[in-house]
């Protein structure tokens, strides 16, 4: 007698890919192209980013989570597996904590989970619009192409303010991570200058069903992550 199909063949699952800070919907498109076999893919855009209008409120994790839920509601999706890059992973974990029925599992990449006023100020200091214009004009051009020439500076300033807020009011603490019961895979590059291996290992130990994967020779920017290796991990874990 043949085994029941549900025990041998993974069922398709909706998968949500959330971009990082300063990112837009297209940021996760290269990865999405490699995950088409998993099931329906959803690439929500966060308010005030890309072509999505601002909601007239500060950038906050809870606000971004509401954007993701609204996109799922519009698509008639009750629950999904989540991939989030950097801030997107933080948003996915926040959803797993506060809306567990909507989240089947979470995979994060380069997500900073340890925040303090000093760390937040360090990160915020790199989001200085005049300095970006002068010292990294290529990055300024990329942001302008992503968010619009008239709006990219506003996105940077709002992101800077959000990071400073997170330094004093982290949206996820140790108790929150302990309360997340869905499977979580934290992925980080061994050369990430923003997210430390120590903070990821600490978070993994708090998560009841957490695991940690380290990508070799990999820094923080999504564009420099080895996509084939990341895709293999995502296909295995999210599927």
- Each domain of the chain, given as residue ranges in start order, spans 5-114+170-238, 116-169
Tell me the percentage of the chain whose pLDDT exceeds 90. Answer: 94
Contact by Cβ (8 Å): 110, 86: yes
Residue 169 scores a pLDDT above 70? yes
**Residue in 57, 48, 55 with CA at minimum distance from that of residue 87:** 48
pLDDT tens string 52-96: 999 999 999 999 999 999 999 999 999 999 999 999 999 999 999
**Mean pLDDT in the chain?**
94
What topology is assigned to 5-114+170-238 in CATH? Rossmann fold (3.40.50)
Instruction: Give one DSSP letter per residue of 20-74, joined into a string.
Output: -TT--GGGGHHHHHH-GGGS-EE----TTSTTSPP-SS---HHHHHHHHHHHHHH
Q: Which residues contact 50 (CB under 8 A, 6 or more apart)?
A: 24, 25, 26, 146, 147
Name residue 185's beta-bridge partners. 107, 211
Contact by Cβ (8 Å): 211, 204: yes
DSSP-derived letter for residue 19 is -
Q: What is the reported pLDDT for 219?
A: 98
Residue 7 scores a pLDDT above 90? no
Q: What is the reported pLDDT for 13?
A: 86
Residue 11 scores a pLDDT above 70? no
Residue 31 scores a pLDDT above 70? yes
**Residue in 204, 210, 183, 238 with CA at minimum distance from that of residue 10:** 238
> Which of 2-11, 141-150, 214-223 is the least confident region?
2-11
pTM, two decimals, is 0.94
């Amino acid at each position: 007698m043949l085994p029941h199909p549900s025990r041998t063949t993974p069922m398709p699952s909706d998968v949500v890919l959330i971009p990082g800070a300063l990112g837009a919907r297209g940021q996760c498109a290269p990865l999405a192209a490699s995950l088409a076999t998993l099931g329906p893919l959803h690439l929500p855009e966060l308010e005030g980013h890309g072509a999505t209008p601002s909601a007239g409120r500060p950038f906050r994790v809870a606000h971004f989570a509401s954007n993701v839920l609204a996109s799922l509601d519009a698509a008639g999706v009750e629950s999904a597996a989540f991939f989030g890059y950097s801030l997107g992973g933080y948003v996915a974990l926040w959803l797993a904590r506060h809306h567990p029925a909507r989240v089947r599992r979470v995979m994060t990449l380069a997500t900073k989970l340890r925040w303090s006023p000093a760390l937040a100020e360090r990160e915020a200091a790199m989001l200085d619009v005049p300095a970006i214009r002068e010292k990294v004009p290529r990055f300024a051009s990329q942001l302008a192409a992503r968010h619009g020439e008239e709006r990219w500076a506003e996105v940077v300033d709002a992101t800077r303010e959000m990071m400073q807020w997170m330094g004093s009011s982290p949206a996820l603490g140790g108790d929150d991570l302990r309360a997340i019961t869905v499977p979580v895979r934290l992925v980080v590059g061994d050369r990430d200058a923003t997210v430390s291996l120590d903070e990821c290992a600490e978070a993994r130990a708090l998560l009841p069903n957490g695991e940690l994967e380290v990508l070799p020779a990999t820094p923080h920017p999504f564009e420099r992550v080895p996509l084939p290796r990341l895709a293999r991990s995502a296909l295995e874990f999210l599927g």
